[in-house]
């Protein structure tokens, strides 16, 4: 297949490109901050919002577009118009955050999307992801190509630029304890980044996936489960300070709590649809965290 990857040099996009380039002809379009040529990808440099720059790029035909960096309404329309392409499939990387909040149900792919507008950066991020999914659906009808949407939950693993696993490893290597809430009702569903990338690749060019959406969501865990597993693969470097969920330390602004702590912050997602299609199981938490620890520990001096 000829795959055009939009983004493709950060975290999930990077891992996907590394996997896909082993099997397919992959072209990466991004702003050129990081090159993916060493992994066998053809690299094109342009800002997706610059129509003139897009039109000046070498013309190509692609079977699939995989878009990792559409964040604002109009991003897909501008890209397709600027490149003058009509792929067979457009695969949009969205987010589980698009679902309507606080329904109390386990969210499957047919659950209603969030139509309310929340304030702040996070609220605008969600609103535009919802609008982009709608935009893609409309463009598919006009352009006669198929849409596939993937909605990842909380991704973790090497190359993660979000300050989560890296912060835990850095503080452990510096000799600091991890605050571990015990009995906190908040839960989250971590997905190892290579799992997410492989499932996206599995859906690429697959006719059964045309017109479909898929949650990428694994085991539901709480802080104690996650941090106990993470500390367990550290070779004794990470030390936990277990505190009750009601301990005042959890409300202090300098306490590092990057995941949902409370029940009202928790949403639950069903990731079974993609598993049924691909036949792939999720990497066990301990295995994914061990690989994550080993990469970040080399950076912070404990490998």
Q: Please determine, for residue 139, whether its predicted confidence score (pLDDT) is greater than 70.
A: yes
Enter the tokens of residue 10: 């950060």
Least confident range of 94-98, 140-144, 231-235: 140-144
Mean pLDDT value of segment 60-73: 95
Query: Would you kindly state where each structural domain of the chain is located, as residue ranges?
Result: 2-154+191-216, 162-189+220-266+285-300
Q: What is the DSSP string of 37-84?
A: GGGT-EEEE--TT-HHHHHTSPP---SEEEES---STTHHHHHHHHHT
Q: Is 2-154+191-216 in CATH node 3.40.50.720?
A: yes
Q: Please determine, for residue 31, whether its predicted confidence score (pLDDT) is greater than 90.
A: no
- Please state, in angstroms and rounded to a whole number, the distance separating the CA atoms of residues 288 and 155: 11
- Please state, in angstroms and rounded to a whole number, the distance separating the CA atoms of residues 267 and 283: 21
Q: With contact defined as beta carbons under 8 Å apart, do 98 and 122 qualify?
A: no
- Please state, in angstroms and rounded to a whole number, the distance separating the CA atoms of residues 92 and 137: 11
H/E/C letters for each residue in 216-269?
ECCCCECHHHHHHHHHHCCCCCCCEEEEECCCHHHHCCCCCCCCCCCHHHCCEE
**Length of the chain (residues):** 303
Q: What are 150-163's pLDDT values in tens digits?
A: 999 999 999 899 99
Q: What are 106-137's pLDDT values in tens digits?
A: 999 999 999 999 989 999 999 999 999 999 99
User: 6 forms bridges with which residues in the sheet?
Assistant: 29, 67
Q: Please determine, for residue 32, whether its predicted confidence score (pLDDT) is greater than 80.
A: no
Q: Please determine, for residue 173, whether its predicted confidence score (pLDDT) is greater than 70.
A: yes
Q: What are 237-250's pLDDT values in tens digits?
A: 999 999 999 999 99
- Please state, in angstroms and rounded to a whole number, the distance separating the CA atoms of residues 105 and 214: 17
| Mean of per-residue pLDDT scores for the chain | 95
- Please state, in angstroms and rounded to a whole number, the distance separating the CA atoms of residues 207 and 205: 6
Q: Is 162-189+220-266+285-300 in CATH node 1.10.8?
A: no
> Which of these, 148, 126, 151, lies nearest to 217 by C-alpha position?
151
pTM of the model: 0.95
Domains 2-154+191-216 and 162-189+220-266+285-300 share a fold: no
């Amino acid at each position: 297949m000829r795959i055009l990857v939009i983004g493709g040099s950060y975290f999930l996009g990077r891992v996907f490109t590394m996997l896909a380039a082993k099997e397919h002809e992959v072209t990466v379009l991004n702003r050129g901050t990081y090159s993916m040529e060493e992994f066998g990808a053809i690299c094109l440099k342009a800002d997706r919002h610059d129509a003139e720059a897009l039109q000046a790029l070498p013309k190509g035909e692609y079977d699939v577009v995989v878009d990792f960096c559409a964040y604002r309404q109009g991003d897909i329309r501008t890209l397709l118009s600027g490149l003058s392409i009509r792929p067979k499939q457009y695969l949009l990387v969205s987010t589980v955050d698009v679902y309507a909040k606080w329904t109390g149900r386990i969210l499957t792919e047919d659950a209603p999307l969030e139509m309310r507008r929340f304030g702040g950066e996070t609220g605008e991020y969600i609103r535009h992801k919802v609008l982009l999914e709608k935009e893609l659906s409309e463009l598919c009808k006009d352009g006669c190509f198929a849409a596939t949407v993937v909605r990842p939950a909380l991704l973790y693993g090497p190359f993660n630029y979000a300050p989560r696993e890296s912060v835990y490893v850095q503080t452990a290597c510096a000799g600091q304890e991890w605050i571990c809430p015990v009995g906190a009702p908040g839960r989250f569903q971590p997905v190892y980044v290579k799992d997410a990338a492989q499932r996206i690749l599995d859906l690429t060019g697959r006719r059964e996936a045309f017109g479909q959406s898929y949650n990428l969501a694994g085991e539901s865990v709480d802080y104690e489960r996650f941090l106990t597993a993470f500390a367990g693969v550290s070779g004794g470097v990470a030390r936990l300070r277990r505190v009750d969920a009601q301990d005042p330390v959890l409300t202090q602004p300098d306490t590092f709590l990057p995941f949902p702590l409370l029940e009202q912050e928790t949403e639950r997602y069903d990731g079974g649809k993609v598993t049924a299609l691909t036949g792939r199981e999720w990497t066990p938490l301990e295995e994914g965290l061990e690989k994550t620890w080993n990469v970040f520990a080399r950076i912070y001096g404990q490998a």
